Amino acid sequence: MKSFIKQHNFFSGLRLRQILNDLKRRPEDAAKELQISISQFNKLLNGTSILTEKLVREITSIWPIKLVDLINPFYDTESSYKIMKASSSKKSSRIMKRGGVDYYEYQDTVMSKNAPFRPEWIRELVYVADNDPNNQNIYWNQGHLLHQFTYFVGEVNFYYLDHNNNKKVAIMNTGDSMFIGYYVPHTFATRNKKLNSYIIAITYYDVISYDIQNELLDYGFEKSIKLIKNSKKNITGKVKVAKYDKYKFKYKQYKNNSIYRYKCLASTPLVKTSESIELEVICDNQFSRHSSSHQYIYILSKDGYLNIEGKTHKVKYGDTIYIKPFVVHEFNKTGLKVLIMSVQGKISEDIIKQLMNMGKKNIGKIIYDDTSWFKK
């Protein structure tokens, strides 16, 4: 495995063995078709020789595989967690205009190449004096593919189209939250004259990812329509508004103490693999957490401490953290308050069931398959 961990190489021979097995080719067969020596091909298989772009073009021209199958999986690897300070977020500030007027101030928050989140801090720059969904000062977008969970800070109006395409407005305040699904037109404005309101807009992809988009593109529009023509329509609403005061606090018990209090925020049956909570540490503890989901964390307390993989980090309001699945972390100091958005990765329940049937021995093979499908 170590021979394949060369992050500067865009392509890798890591999956070549599995590709040969799938195509029922021995190394000598592959070498002959590629018109290279068997010794050269074996070096590609064991990672001691670099898979060049020229050779990748040759491989994908004669075998029915995609270029993406040969991209080095280590090329885009990142650490198990990332922290973005609020000061760094402020440096990314940019003003978005709509209708010729300043409409939003955007700031980046923590993002990772391999995480499903595309979260932003957004301050509303248009003041509204009423709650009319037809207010002439607001400008609607056309909706977007990514789902969006939003946490509200201050006095914000959330405008959206319901399932009957009627314009609606939700009057939101600090702690309120909402979920909005794909391609629902919406917009935001502030009821605060000093423009001190903002939202944490966590957009994220679910099962419909770039891979699905590309497969539908390959089918074409008419054939894609046939996929859903006879399917039962999902009647689950695409918008869910959660008022903070209507949800009760729950408590996490550890060693006979209540260590956290938390509230579940906006969620929807439309995306069963996501969860959002507001959590506050109310007792010092040594409880270790880990999740099978990707986690996005926004610090809501003035300051605090958290521990990730044995390292303690001091954080303050507005800092953001991304944590990979199964990374051990601790919220162990009283006073820390966080917003947590969790989204399952691409390994769904159906995939987990198949992995369970493979067994532990074969899990190693699926990660790194370096043997032929038969013994000579």
What are phi and psi for residue 245, nearest 5 degrees? -70, -15
Which residues, including other chains, have CB under 8 Å from residue 197's CB and lie 6 or more apart? 123, 124, 152, 153, 154, 155, 156, 190, 191
pLDDT-derived band at 272 (thresholds 50, 70, 90) equals: confident
Whether 256 is covered by a domain: the verdict is: yes
Whether 220 is covered by a domain: the verdict is: no
Proportion of the chain above pLDDT 70, given as a percent: 98
Say whether both 268 and 333 belong to one domain. yes
Say whether both 108 and 135 belong to one domain. yes
Tell whether the model's pLDDT for residue 285 goes beyond 80. Answer: yes
pLDDT in tens, 201-243: 999 988 887 788 888 888 898 888 888 877 766 656 789 999 9
The pTM of this model reads 0.88
Whether 118 is covered by a domain: the verdict is: yes
Q: DSSP states of 244-272 as a string?
A: GGGS--EEEEETTEEEEEEEE----TT-T
Say whether both 314 and 360 belong to one domain. no
What are phi and psi for residue 71, nearest 5 degrees? -70, 140
Say whether both 333 and 358 belong to one domain. no
Position 351 scores a pLDDT of 81
Whether 301 is covered by a domain: the verdict is: yes
Q: Which domain holds residue 64?
A: 2-77+348-367
Distance CA 123, CA 138 (A): 14
Position 72 scores a pLDDT of 87
Residue type, 336: L
Position 235 scores a pLDDT of 54
183 within 8 A of 151, measured Cβ to Cβ: no
Whether 225 is covered by a domain: the verdict is: no
Whether 271 is covered by a domain: the verdict is: yes
Average pLDDT over residues 16-26: 92
Position 232 scores a pLDDT of 67
Position 236 scores a pLDDT of 61
Say whether both 126 and 31 belong to one domain. no
Nearest Cα to 139, choosing from 175, 102, 111, 113?
A: 102
pLDDT in tens, 144-163: 989 999 999 999 999 999 98
Say whether both 109 and 67 belong to one domain. no
Residue 41: exposed, middle, or buried by beta-carbon count in 10 A (0-12, 13-18, 19+)? buried
Cα 160 → chain centroid:
23
CATH of the domain at 42: 1.10.260.40
How many domains, the chain? 3
CATH of the domain at 124: 2.60.120.10
pLDDT in tens, 311-352: 999 999 999 999 999 999 999 999 999 999 999 887 777 788
Say whether both 253 and 332 belong to one domain. yes
Whether 373 is covered by a domain: the verdict is: no
Q: 82: number of CA atoms within 13 Å, CB side?
A: 16
Tell whether the model's pLDDT for residue 374 goes beyond 80. Answer: no
Position 2 scores a pLDDT of 61
Average pLDDT over residues 9-22: 89
pLDDT in tens, 111-142: 998 899 999 999 999 999 999 999 999 999 99
Look at 51-55, 128-132, 245-249, 360-364 and tell me which has the smallest mean pLDDT: 360-364
Whether 356 is covered by a domain: the verdict is: yes
**Chosen domain end from 151, 183, 204:** 204
pLDDT in tens, 64-88: 999 989 988 888 788 999 999 999 9
Look at 11-15, 140-144, 314-318, 372-376 and tell me which has the smallest mean pLDDT: 372-376
Return mean pLDDT, the chain.
92
Say whether both 88 and 163 belong to one domain. yes
Tell whether the model's pLDDT for residue 295 goes beyond 80. Answer: yes
Position 321 scores a pLDDT of 98
